[in-house]
Structure 1
Amino acid sequence: MQPNSHPSPLPDKFPERISKELLHDLPLLAFEGPIQVLTDSKEARRVARRLMHEPVLGFDTETRPSFRKGEEYEVALLQLATRDECFLFRLNHLSLPDYLQRLLASPNSIKIGVALRDDIRALRRLNDFNPQGFVDLSEIGRQLGIVTVGLRNLAAILLKVRISKKAQLSNWERPKLDTTQQSYAATDAWICVEMLHYLQQEGFAQDLSALKMGWGAANEGRRPKAKGKRLGGPSAAESASSSRNLVS
C-alpha cells in the first residue's frame, strides 16, 4: 500500500518537470487500504466527527465531467484520507451539511491537497463556509523549484510512482461508484498525505501553519505570504549548495 519504503535521497535541486516517457515507466501505485463510501447522513456525520481529531487529512474532490458547451455540474464527491483509510462522501446525496462544513473550516485539522482553489470554490457553491487549515502541495512544489505541480507530476517527482487517470472522466454521479472509481478517488486523496509525509521525513514543510492558505470574500484562495522568514525554498544562488532550507 505504501510508496517505495524510502525513495531515493532528495537531490540538491528537484527536477522542474518529468517527461511523459519517464512518468509512464514508473511503477503504478494505488491505495490498497479500506475505502468507505458514504451516502447515509447519520454515518457520514459520525465519520466527520471522528476525522475532526485527525491532524492531517488528504483532500480532493470529483465532479461529473461535462461534454457540452455551457453545461456544468456541482461537485459530486469529497475524498478525505489518512495514511491508512479513505472516506468518500457522496455530495450529490449529502450536499455539504453542517458537520462537513465544520471539518472543512477547522484550523486544527490540516487538509492537504493539490491545486485547491477550484475544489474549494466548488464546495462553497454547495454551501458557503470559511475554509481553514488547507495546505496546497502545488505551492510547496513551486517553492522547491518544480514547474509541473499537478498531482500526478508531483507524485512522480517526489515518490517515483505513477497514478492512474483511468476514471478521471467517469460519471461521478452514477447510482453506485464502481471499484475503479473508488480506487481512483481514494488514491488521489491518500497520495497527498504520503507526499507530505515524505517531505517532512526529509526536513521539508515542517511548519504547516505557515503554509495554510487564506480565504475570504475579498481574498479567496490567496497564497500564503512570508512573515519574517521565507516560506519557500532556497533562492537561485542558494540552491546550488542545498535544497533543504524550505520551511523549517
Structure 2
Amino acid sequence: MTAPDDPADLPPYAGLDPAGITLVRDSAGAAAARRVLEAADALGFDTESRPTFVRGEASSGPHVVQLATDSHCFLYQVDHLADLADLRAVLESPGLVKAGFGLGDDLRRLASKCDIHCGGVLDLAQLLRPNRREAMGVKKAVAGLLGRRMEKSKRVATTNWASRKLSERQMLYAANDAHAALCVYRAWVAGQAR
C-alpha cells in the first residue's frame, strides 16, 4: 500500500448519507440492529467518548458504539440503553469480524464500563502499519487503499458524545469512521487474494 504524495488531490471519500444511519436507543432498536449485523460477514467498528479536558480526568466513555455494514451504520448510545444484551452478543461473537482503527482504548473502555469483552476484532492500525513504530490511521489507509480523501473534523471529534441528542454532523462523523474501516478491510482482503 502506498499513500499518495498529496491526499488533497484525491476525490473525497463519500461515506454514508444520513438515511444509512440508525440511532439505537431502545431494546427494540437493538434487537433489529442485531439481526442485520449478525447477517453480515464483517463489520466496521469504532466508539466515541466525550472528551476530557482536565489532566488526569478519566473518560466516562464509550458513549457511542458504531457498527457498520457495507450500506448501513448503527450508532448505539450506550448511556441511554437499558439493556446491552444485543450489543454484547454482536461484539463478543468470535466468528464475526469487527474491523477498526486503534481499538485498544475502545476495547478497554467497553470491558470496564459495559462488561463487554469483544471477540473477532481486527485492529487495522496494527495490521497495516508501514513500519514497526507507526500505526496506520484511517485517513492514511483510506487514501492508500481506497484512493480517496477522508475529511475528519477535530471540532466534531471533540463534541459531547454523551448527549442524548446527537447532531447530524456527529452521526455522519461516527458512522463514517466505522464504515471507512469496513471499506479498508474489504480492500485489504481483496489485495490479499491477488
Q: If the TM-score is normalised by the length of the shorter chain, which range does it land in?
A: 0.7 to 0.9
Q: 1: CA distance between counterparts of 2:82 and 2:152?
A: 26
Contact 2:26 2:82 in 1 (8 A): no
Aligned with 1:69 (options 42, 49, 55) = 55
State yes or no: 1:52 paired with 2:41. Answer: no
- What pairs with 1:191-202 in structure 2 (closer than 5 Å)? 191-202=180-191
Residue 93 (1) aligns with residue 77 (2): no
Q: 2:143 aligns with which of 156, 172, 193?
A: 156
Q: Does 1:173 align with 2:162?
A: yes
Answer yes or no: is 1:119 the counterpart of 2:106. Answer: yes
Deviation at 1:95, TM superposition (A): 6.6
Contact 1:30-1:183 within 8 A present in 2 as well: no
Shift of 1:18: 6.1
TM-score computed with the length of structure 1 as normaliser: 0.69
Larger Rg: 1
Aligned 8 A contact 1:77 1:89 in 2: yes
Q: Which structure carries more helix by proportion?
A: 2
Q: 1:96 to 1:159 in 2, by over 3 A?
A: farther
Query: Deviation digits for residues 149-192 of structure 1, max 9, x if unmatched?
Result: 01111111211222222121111122311111111111100111
User: What residue is the counterpart of 2:177 in the other structure?
Assistant: 188
Q: Deviations over 1:125-152 (max 9, x none)?
A: 122233211111122212x659450111
Letter in structure 1 aligned against 2:170: Q
**Residue 121 of structure 1, CA deviation:** 0.6
- Aligned residue pairs, count: 188
Aligned to 1:232: none
Distance in 2 separating the partners of 1:117 and 1:69: 20
- Considering Cα pairs closer than 8 Å and 6+ residues apart, tell me whether 1 or 2 has the greater RCO: 2
Structure 1 counterpart of 2:15: 31
Unpaired runs of at least 5, structure 2 = none
Report whether the alignment pairs 1:43 with 2:29: yes
Aligned CA RMSD, in angstroms, stands at 2.2
TM-fit CA distance, 1:29: 1.8
- Percent identical across equivalent pairs? 34
Amino acid at match of 1:65: P
Where does structure 1 lack aligned partners over 5 or more consecutive residues? 1-13, 207-243
Say which is worse superposed, 115-124 or 92-101, in terms of deviation: 92-101
